[in-house]
């Protein structure tokens, strides 16, 4: 486990709605972003994105850090901030670029949408 946590980049789709949401109400993804803004450590870079392409299983976030895989998670709500915070902690302390399974919040076990390896892994594999 690295001594210094890796700086995590968190992308939040602010366009996401959930089925049955009031179309006049603020979007669930935007509410999730607002909630996260108030609870993240300073070294986490929070970036709103208009559509991460996972519209069928919204709300959606993507997490990555230098040298780690990029993870996309779905089926989230405006109240998922604490679970996302747990996932950020797991990735920030990863020593192999992967988010460990153990310790993941349930929604991160059940609702991984995709994961993409870092460029460095691919270069190693090609050598």
- Note the residues at the interface with a second copy (CB under 8 A): 9, 11, 47, 49, 51-54, 60, 62, 70-72, 112-117, 122, 125-126
Q: How far is the CB of 54 from a second copy (least distance, A)?
A: 5
Confirm if 15 and 68 have CB atoms less than 8 A apart.
no
Q: How far is the CB of 45 from a second copy (least distance, A)?
A: 8
Of 56 and 95, CB closest to a second copy: 56
User: Residue 119, exposed/middle/buried by CB under 10 A (0-12, 13-18, 19+)?
Assistant: exposed
Of 39 and 55, CB closest to a second copy: 55
Tokens coding 96: 């192999």
Q: How far is the CB of 71 from a second copy (least distance, A)?
A: 7
Of 85 and 112, CB closest to a second copy: 112
Of 40 and 114, CB closest to a second copy: 114
How far apart, in whole angstroms, are the C-alpha atoms of residue 94 and residue 7? 11
How far apart, in whole angstroms, are the C-alpha atoms of residue 71 and residue 116? 7
Q: How far is the CB of 11 from a second copy (least distance, A)?
A: 7
Contacts of 31 (CB under 8 A, 6+ apart): 78
Confirm if 69 and 118 have CB atoms less than 8 A apart.
yes
């Amino acid at each position: 486990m690295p001594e210094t946590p890796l700086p995590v980049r968190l992308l939040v789709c602010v366009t996401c709605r959930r089925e049955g949401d009031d179309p006049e109400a603020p979007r669930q993804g935007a509410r999730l972003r607002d909630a996260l803004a108030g609870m993240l450590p300073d070294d986490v870079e929070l970036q709103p994105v208009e559509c991460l392409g996972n519209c069928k299983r919204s709300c959606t976030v993507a997490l990555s850090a230098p040298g780690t895989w990029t993870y996309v998670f779905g089926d989230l709500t405006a109240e998922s901030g604490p679970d996302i915070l747990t996932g950020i902690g797991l990735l920030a302390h990863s020593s192999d670029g992967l988010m460990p399974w153990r310790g993941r919040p349930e929604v991160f076990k059940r609702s991984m949408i995709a994961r993409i390896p870092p460029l460095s892994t691919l270069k190693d594999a090609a050598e």
